[in-house]
Amino acid sequence: MDEPECDDVLDDWFIESLKTYKDLYVYQLECPTKVIEWTSGRTVCVAGYGSSKNEILELRLPPKLFANENKGLCAERDFKVVHGGFTDGPVHCLKHVPGTRCVVSNDGRSSELQVWELGGEDSDVIRRTGSVAGRSVVSEGGSRIAARLSSQPQVLHGARSGDVQLTELTSGQPLYKLETDSADPLSSLQFVTDAVFLACCCNGNVYIADTRTAAAPQLSPPPVSSGESVLWWTDASSGSSCLDPTSCRIVRLSSSGQAVISDLRNQREAASQAQLDVQSHHCNLDDVTVSWAPALDGCIAVSGFSGAVQIYNTSVWRTELQEAQPLFQHRGHTVSSQPDDGVFVTSHVWHPERPRTLLSAASDGSVHVWDWVDQSAGS
Amino acid sequence: VWVPEIASEELLRCVHTEEYLNSFINGRINEQEQRRTGFPWSKGLVRRCRYETGGTLLAAEVALHRGLACSTAGGTHHAFPSFGSGFCLLNDLAVAAKYLISSSPGRKVLIVDLDVHQGDGTAFIFKEEPCVFTFSVHCGKNFPLRKQQSDLDVSVEDGLEDEEYLSTVEAHLPSVLEIFRPDVVLYDAGVDPHWEDELGRLRLTDQGLYRRDLYVMKTVVSRGVPVATVIGGGYSRDIDKLALRHSIVHRAATQVWRECGM
């Protein structure tokens, strides 16, 4: 009785999706990933988070997605594994080093980073080529990683605000250390320009530091929140377009669903905020992601609270806390799973250039790439 | 060239429930039901569906008299008696088949559905009807996920190309004709098995579709059985290309007409 009902739901959603998406392609991994990292405009790297051996894969997106003009001429609608390898442990964080075929990962257990070569035309193997030591040996929850935006292969990494370090990849030499007395666990590290970065902490603190100076970082405390002991996730609007770091917008999202937008220049006042429609009872809070759209002004995507990815338009938010409804919800991962499985989205990323294209991955191993239709727009 | 009449409510009632027809014709289909069909309701939509059904019926009647007839529409095989689904609101093939067996007792109808999607509505409607044989060749992974049971279902894998596809049809059609011995065939010549189709997951070429249609019509006609065709499904943003693809069956029919001296 249950099976036909599930199929019915999926069939109905499929028909609806023909109108609500411009493109939608699905892929099934053998094991779920909690990382999706662009390695080029058409390829992404994913990796498993099982306790021992896992696959690390570079997937090429369906060519049909990119055939904007002559969609009919391009039949190829499947993802393809172009490179693959094995890890010795789970992958909790993975970043691509721009300008190289190199990715850096962390297993969430220690502060050490693994360095990988993705392989070129001649090989389909992803090889481990080395490691980078963390600044402190003991680490719970694993390190966050950010790759420097310039052409020098350097990575910023650390598990807490007190052990953040910038390391040169080829030599393993530390180039910079964030000097602060605190030891707040990090939720993310992010470069906003080539030299300026944010160390975003789970308690809502955001440290703003400049790798060119030894000066202490600036601290932006968390917004006033309604809930006790909430966790916070942060994202800053796209680094490469943010030439003046003090005019960068950041979004902070709490585990109770409060989202606050502020300006780095004016950190104490909330520019705007909203209470998002998220149900946090089922979620794996490790996997919450909030991200600015690189090419769609004012839009953010939120995932990890459920099996859906929600898109919000923050430009209509005000300074007083009000409920916000999503502009769009991608429910593909829930619709295609059994109702009792409690599928949740583990990760999402925006395409760097295509305004409404996102990739999302879920706990059931599904990976979707989708280009949604803005039905509120006059088009 | 003939022009159909609009299908009357009485005619449609031979397949569809009164309740559904009332809601459908009078615009009382709720939002959830509309989403399932893929269409927002409008009066024009209702007219179009009724004419389309009339067209399939007319093609069947003309085929009975002349041996071969082609509609320029039709193939809405996902419509069930009490609801629409997958861009299908009324099941034209079912209505035509029902009419054919009712108007002449003992008459047998074979529905050959080569649209890339299973003819689930039609299969359901004629599940217990011995005078109608439903035969569907479709891609397993295409919509609907929830399949019904035709009298003969052939589910094929993604990416099937011309040769293998044609062999598959050739492996089944003659024996179905031999065993069932229909008095008339309704042929859904859907073009969504084409490799450029946006929804279909097969890889037929224009030539493949032409050879398929030629084969089906010739095989049926050479047994002295009349055949009526409908255009079936096809999904492409390039309407001109799609229209051209849908006209393959008409051109194949012209060839059959010539070759069989009809």
- DSSP symbols for A127-158: EEEEEE--SSS--SS--EEEE-SSSS-EEEEE
- Residue A19: its chain B contacts at CB < 8 A? 38
Tell me whether residues A11 and B85 touch, CB distance under 8 A.
Answer: yes
- Residue A8: its chain B contacts at CB < 8 A? 146
Does residue A89 share a domain with residue A38? yes
Pick A72's closest partner by Cβ from B37, B144, B196: B196
pLDDT at B50 over 50: yes
pLDDT recorded at residue B171: 98
pLDDT recorded at residue B139: 97
- Residue B191: its chain A contacts at CB < 8 A? none
pLDDT recorded at residue A245: 54
Residue A13 lies in a domain: no
- Residue A338: its chain B contacts at CB < 8 A? none
CB half-sphere exposure, B111, CA atoms < 13 A: 42
Give Cα separations from A360 to A34, A117, A367 (angstroms): 9, 24, 6
Among A221, A252, A273, give the residue marking a domain's end: A221
> Look-up: residue for tokens 């050739």?
B170
Does residue A192 share a domain with residue A168? yes
Count of structural domains, chain B? 1
Structural domain of B185: 9-259
Tell me whether residues A16 and B86 touch, CB distance under 8 A.
Answer: no
A-contacting residues of B 184-243, CB under 8 Å? 195-196, 198-199, 201, 203, 236-238, 241
> What pLDDT digit, counting tens, does each position of A302-319 carry?
999 989 999 999 999 999
pLDDT recorded at residue A121: 85
Q: How far is B238 from chain A (nearest CA, A)?
A: 8
Compute the mean pLDDT over every residue in chain B, rounded to the nearest whole number. Answer: 96
Residue A5 lies in a domain: no
* Residue among B198, B238, B244 with most chain A CBs within 10 A, to mutate: B198
Rounded to an integer, what distance in angstroms lies between the CA atom of residue A230 and that of residue A210?
Answer: 28
Contact B214, B187 (CB under 8 A): no
Q: Using 50 as the pLDDT threshold, list the residues of chain A that sit under it.
A: 1-2, 239-240, 379
Pick A75's closest partner by Cβ from B36, B38, B196: B196
Average pLDDT value for residue range B228-244: 94
Of the ranges A64-73, A351-360, B30-39, B187-196, which one carries the lowest mean pLDDT score? A64-73
Does residue A216 share a domain with residue A248? no
Residue B135 lies in a domain: yes
Average pLDDT value for residue range B33-58: 94
Does residue A238 share a domain with residue A155? no
Residue A227 lies in a domain: no
Rounded to an integer, what distance in angstroms lies between the CA atom of residue B252 and that of residue B258?
Answer: 10
B157 touches chain A (CB under 8 A): no
pLDDT recorded at residue B7: 96
Q: What is the CATH number of the domain that holds A323?
A: 2.130.10.10
* Active-site residue flag, B78: yes
Count of structural domains, chain A? 2
Does residue A215 share a domain with residue A70? yes
Contact A33, B57 (CB under 8 A): no
Residue A1 lies in a domain: no
pLDDT recorded at residue B82: 96
Average pLDDT value for residue range B80-104: 96
Active-site option among B16, B78, B117, B138:
B78
Average pLDDT value for residue range B186-208: 95
Structural domain of A239: 18-30+232-374
Tell me whether residues B144 and A7 touch, CB distance under 8 A.
Answer: yes
> What pLDDT digit, counting tens, does each position of B105-114 carry?
999 999 999 9
> What torsion, rounded to 10 degrees, do the Cα atoms B200, B204, B208, B214 define?
-20
- Residue B195: its chain A contacts at CB < 8 A? 75
pLDDT recorded at residue A25: 92
Pick B35's closest partner by Cβ from A10, A15, A73: A15
